[in-house]
Amino acid sequence: MKRHQTTIIDIARELNISKSTVSRALTGHPNVNPETRKAVLALADRMDYQRNMLALSLVTSRSNTLGIIVPEFLTSFFPQIVIGAQEVASKAGYNVIVSQSNESYETEVANAKVMLANRVDGVMVSVSKESRNFEHFKIFQRKGIPIVFFNRVCDEMQVPKVVVDDYDGAFRAVEHLIGTGKRRIAHLAGPDSLSISRKRLQGYRDALLKHGLPIREELIIPYDLSTEKARIYVKHLLDLPEPPDALFSINDPTAIEAMQVIKARGLGIPQDIAVVGFSNDYASALIEPGLTTVAQPVREMGKTAARLLLDQMDREVSDWKAIIRTLKTELIIRGSG
């Protein structure tokens, strides 16, 4: 079958008028005879007419589409970001196209190309844990397509960013642990390539420092954010001659994984080992004991990033400000620490 979609030409022919008039009627142009407009609208509806955005984009050279590039889709974090961003975007008349890189640098590069090829009007991204080269994102900058980073940002690019106060969140989390009497606090840290890793680590260090506790390098374990590795390192920590009495994890999934390991060993949480996470994932309130964690305003972050993007879009490139919006975290104290 010929998959012919109805076009303004079909409508024009049917009504014996020109396609320009149809176009004007459809887009709400003032100079159209009300009669004509009514007829056009009615027929368009009857023929299931849908304006071809691809053609529109071609002539206006704007696609009315925002791109979102995220590293994964397994935790509730990024889907929630998408919800927030979509809300803002659609209110402004924009569509959203999402792609996830599965934490793979290769895929991330491919995704960026797809966004470019589809002529998104702007793109918001959180980088994969593998990414150390950011050429594929600099292309956007060169082309004058607004880009904003959120959560996992790219330090070397001077563009708007949305983050939470990772340093402060970590600092307060660790300070809280110290306040409950913990002294040997371990930290499962993220890969050094991610700035969130570095900032949370710094918060951890400074909290210990402030309270006169020694920083024991053997208790600081950077890993690749995979739950398998997390499991291994937690076991390693427990096997230490002097095991930690608390564990601050860079994220909730790992903290939860750690709790499983600790419970399996028959150790008590938080008496033997307290556990604190970061993000306040959906599952964190459900497990036993509840996970103490640093909550991030996730949906708000998605909204903010989208707004920042829309802001940049109407500006001259030269006006772009490398604004950094820092959202506040909140320490949620539950049973685990």
Partner DNA sequence: CTGTTAGCGCTTTCAC
Partner DNA sequence: GTGAAAGCGCTAACAG
State yes or no: residue 79 binds its own copies (CB under 8 A).
yes
Query: Of the candidates 13, 38, 46, 58, which one interacts with DNA according to CB under 7 A?
Result: 58
State yes or no: residue 51 binds DNA (CB under 7 A).
yes
State yes or no: residue 13 binds DNA (CB under 7 A).
no
Q: Nearer Cβ to its own copies, position 78 or 248?
A: 78
Residue with structure tokens 């570095």?
A: 198
Instruction: Answer for the pair 288, 269: CB distance below 8 angstroms, yes or no.
Output: no
33 binds, among DNA, its own copies, none (CB under 5 to 8 A by kind): DNA
Query: Of the candidates 80, 126, 292, 293, which one interacts with its own copies according to CB under 8 A?
Result: 80
Among the candidate windows 54-62, 167-175, 222-230, 254-262, which touches DNA by CB under 7 A? 54-62
Q: Nearer Cβ to its own copies, position 206 or 272?
A: 272
139 binds, among DNA, its own copies, none (CB under 5 to 8 A by kind): its own copies
Per-residue mark of binding to its own copies, 47-66 (x: CB under 8 A): -x-xxxxxx-xx--x-x---
239 binds, among DNA, its own copies, none (CB under 5 to 8 A by kind): none
Q: Nearer Cβ to DNA, position 23 or 226?
A: 23
Instruction: Answer for the pair 210, 280: CB distance below 8 angstroms, yes or no.
Output: no
State yes or no: residue 31 binds DNA (CB under 7 A).
yes
Give the Cα separation of 32 and 23 in Å (integer).
10
Q: Nearer Cβ to its own copies, position 130 or 281?
A: 281
Instruction: Answer for the pair 7, 47: CB distance below 8 angstroms, yes or no.
Output: no
Q: Nearer Cβ to DNA, position 56 or 283?
A: 56
Q: Nearer Cβ to its own copies, position 135 or 217?
A: 135
Give the Cα separation of 152 and 316 in Å (integer).
26
Quick one: three-class SS letters along the chain? CCCCCCCHHHHHHHHCCCHHHHHHHHHCCCCCCHHHHHHHHHHHHHCCCCCCHHHHHHHHCCCCEEEEEECCCCCCHHHHHHHHHHHHHHHCCCEEEEEECCCCHHHHHHHHHHHHHCCCCEEEECCCCCCCCCHHHHHHHHHCCCEEEECCCCCCCCCCEEEECHHHHHHHHHHHHHHCCCCCEEEEECCCCCHHHHHHHHHHHHHHHHCCCCCCHHHEEECCCCHHHHHHHHHHHHHCCCCCCEEEECCHHHHHHHHHHHHHCCCCCCCCCEEEEEECCHHHHCCCCCCEEEECCHHHHHHHHHHHHHHHHCCCHHHCCCCEEEECCEEECCCCC
State yes or no: residue 286 binds its own copies (CB under 8 A).
yes
State yes or no: residue 7 binds DNA (CB under 7 A).
yes
CA angle 187, 191, 197 (to 5 degrees): 60
State yes or no: residue 99 binds its own copies (CB under 8 A).
yes
State yes or no: residue 34 binds DNA (CB under 7 A).
yes
205 binds, among DNA, its own copies, none (CB under 5 to 8 A by kind): none
Q: Nearer Cβ to DNA, position 56 or 333?
A: 56
Binding site for its own copies (CB under 8 A): 1, 3, 5, 48, 50-55, 57-58, 61, 63, 73-74, 76, 78-80, 82-83, 86, 90, 95-100, 102, 110, 113-114, 116-119, 139, 142-145, 256, 260, 282-283, 286-288, 316-318
Binding site for DNA (CB under 7 A): 4-5, 7-9, 16-21, 23-24, 26-27, 30-36, 49, 51-52, 55-56, 58-61
